[in-house]
Amino acid sequence: MPKIKNYPRLNSASSINHEAEQNSLFLPDFCALKMVFAVVVIGELLAIVLTMAPLRMDKQLWNDMALVALFIQWNGLMCSSALCLLRPFFKNYSNRFVALSSYLILLLIITLLSELTFYIVEKYYLFDAISSTSHWEFLVHNLIIGGIISALALRYFYVQHQWRVKVQAESCTKLQLLQARIRPHFLFNSMNSIASLTRTRPEVAERMTEDLAELFRMLFREDHEMIAWARELTLSEYYINIEKQRLGDRLKISWEVNDIPDDAMVPALILQPLLENAIFHGIEPEINGGSIVVAGELNYNQLIITVENTNSKNIIHRQGNKMALANIEERLKAHYHGKASIVCQDKDDVYSVIVSMPYLMQDES
Amino acid sequence: MMKILIADDESLARERLALLLKEINPEYQQIEASNGLETIEQVNEEEPDIVLMDVRMPGMSGLEAAHHLMNCETPPAIIFTTAYDEYALQAFESRAVDYLLKPIRKERLEKALEHCSKLNKLQLEQLGQQNQEVSYRTHISAQIRGTILLIPIKDICCFLADHKYITIRYNKEGVLAETIIEDTLKSLEEEFSSLFLRIHRNALIRKDKIEALEKQQDGRILLKLKKLPEGLEVSRRHLSSVRKLMKS
């Protein structure tokens, strides 16, 4: 029985990557030496601010500052080691959960340390301002200061993480979009073929360069462009011509597309990635190659284009990047708002991709 | 004079390399192969000094072919060629293996030929681990009287361990044949976990060749495989996984 299934991961390639980044932990690695150093320095600065803020200039200042600093360092290092230890655990949870739970954990640590400090200070009379009467005051003060500082720090880490995600996503998308539409191998293999042909058959090399140029001219255009079917077909033929030079008799292709009107508008280069996939999975892995059938029909105002390739008999299937199909799906969504679809069927000896989209004329698109 | 084997599935790529080699030194003896299997055959017959090996080839990839060539008594030096292969490139760079990027420059090829050194087994294994496409082999190679014998994985019935060696029982043109290799069942099991199943401390069998489970009078349980006359013993520890597989 043939297995009919939708392609497993039909997200756009860029969004997959983007999501992975988005879901990465926003907290930095507190186990790193750099981070420990930063925590110590910030703690020291905070101690200076806290002791100098009341505008005092007495002999006790330095002494107090040292004690305050000691207390803050203690808190800071305990908090960062807790976050360091919890990091592997946090990795499995959403950033919202991590933010809330780490905030609560930080407050808990501050409370515990305050209590402990209070107990020690009271016992050894280390600090004048603290006596048994001010127990609650001490605890509440520490919690307020600690709560504000932790909230600010967490917020800072979150914003920084968001910014990093955005920068990475932006730089990835463009390259990935291009790669989703054409495999870099294709470019370099074609260049190699041209280099070889230049000596032996210059006129074929010339023709191939022209085909390649035209394909890339279209690739570098805007993503959302629509072109006439006749033009799309010509571009696909250029692509196949180039691959034929490389693969020779191993690539057999037949076109059964006369039913589709020449003036039907389709998203530019929607067919080429499908052909590329068919070659990558069906032709290249086989010593004797294979065949591709491109069929098109017009059915109740829907254009149905099928690209079939013989399934490679290699027991080891080639791993593709699954980007091409995801990218086509994304583009169909953008163009036709749910009125188009792409389905893959994996039967025993044939793999086919069926794209269905509304028939639009020049002025409608 | 030096004998060089050009292994590439694309005739244009071979043509170009042949021209460049001829320009570098017209006296080089050149031979060609268009896939991994042919490469092994040619190496067996012609014993070239250097193989210029495309990483991606149909049937058997260049990396796998290189792996089998290591079993040779005097393996040729291998220089990989590739158009663009993210994973392979990363692997090559980190292992300091010589590779050439297509289209290959004449000067670069000349330099590679001068400096080519033999790839060692460790380098190659690490390359394989980093390259997803060749995470497991399509063939097992055994060395027989100085030449490499290749056995397609799809013909193998079972691997049976016996002290240091492993006996492979496979289907050779319709007849059951046997050969011995040096390997461990553990590594074979890991490599081919999708195709083979461990049924005993000393046996790894092809999943789709399972025919029936038979209980013997003495309590032992034997597994019958298609085209294998005798049953293989299933240990108690592996029995549940065999049953599970047979149900599905």
A318 to chain B, any CB pair closer than 8 A? The answer is yes
Same domain, B145 and B172: yes
- Cβ-Cβ contacts under 8 Å, B12 against chain A: 192-193, 196-197, 245-246
Same domain, B29 and B89: yes
Contact flag B58-A284 (C-beta cutoff 8 Å): yes
Same domain, B113 and B144: no
Same domain, B185 and B82: no
- Among candidates B58, B83, B85 on the partner chain, residue whose Cβ is nearest the Cβ of A192: B83
Which of B134, B169, B186 terminates a domain? The answer is B134
- Cβ-Cβ contacts under 8 Å, A314 against chain B: 59, 138
Same domain, B102 and B185: no
- Position A197 scores a pLDDT of 95
Same domain, B179 and B235: yes
Alpha-carbon distance A311 to nearest alpha carbon in chain B (angstroms): 14
- Position A3 scores a pLDDT of 35
Average pLDDT on B196-214 reads 90
Same domain, B99 and B147: no
Same domain, B100 and B19: yes
Same domain, B36 and B124: yes
> Which of B9, B10, B12, B100 is the best residue to mutate to test the A interface, defined by the most A CB atoms within 10 Å of its own CB?
B12
The one-letter code for the residue type at A37 is F
The per-residue pLDDT of chain A, averaged, comes to 83
- Phi and psi dihedrals of A24, rounded to 5? -70, 155
Question: With left for phi above 0 and alpha for psi between -120 and 50, is residue B233 left, alpha or beta?
Answer: beta
Which of B87, B104, B134 terminates a domain? The answer is B134
Confidence tier at A9 by pLDDT (50, 70, 90): very low
Element (H, E) at A256: strand A251-256
Alpha-carbon distance A251 to nearest alpha carbon in chain B (angstroms): 12
- Position A174 scores a pLDDT of 63
Give residue B45's domain range: 3-134
B106 to chain A, any CB pair closer than 8 A? The answer is no
Alpha-carbon distance A206 to nearest alpha carbon in chain B (angstroms): 15
Query: Which residues have CB under 8 Å from A247's CB, separation 6+?
Result: A279, A283, A284, A289, B10
- Position A92 scores a pLDDT of 81
Is the per-residue pLDDT at A54 higher than 90?
Answer: no
Domain positions in chain A:
3-181, 184-358
A1 to chain B, any CB pair closer than 8 A? The answer is no
- Position A14 scores a pLDDT of 39
**CATH code of the domain occupying A184-358:** 3.30.565.10
B58 to chain A, any CB pair closer than 8 A? The answer is yes
B89 to chain A, any CB pair closer than 8 A? The answer is no
Residue of B nearest to A192 (CA): B103
- Structurally, chain B folds into a number of domains equal to 2
Q: A142-189 pLDDT, tens per residue?
A: 899 999 999 999 999 888 888 887 777 666 666 666 666 778 889 999
Same domain, B194 and B152: yes
- Position A234 scores a pLDDT of 95
Which of B115, B134, B153 terminates a domain? The answer is B134
Residue of B nearest to A197 (CA): B12
Average pLDDT on A270-299 reads 91
Same domain, B95 and B170: no
Same domain, B225 and B124: no
Angle at B234 between CA B230 and CA B239, to 5 degrees: 140
HEC profile of chain B: CCEEEEECCCHHHHHHHHHHHHHHCCCCEEEEECCHHHHHHHHHHHCCCEEEEECCCCCCCHHHHHHHHCCCCCCCEEEEEECCCHHHHHHHHHHCCCEEECCCCHHHHHHHHHHCCCCCHHHHHHHHHHCHHHCCCCEEEEEECCEEEEEEHHHEEEEEEECCEEEEEEEECCEEEEEEEECCHHHHHHHCCCCEEEEECCEEEEHHHEEEEEECCCCCEEEEECCCCCCEEECHHHHHHHHHHHHC
CATH for B49: 3.40.50.2300
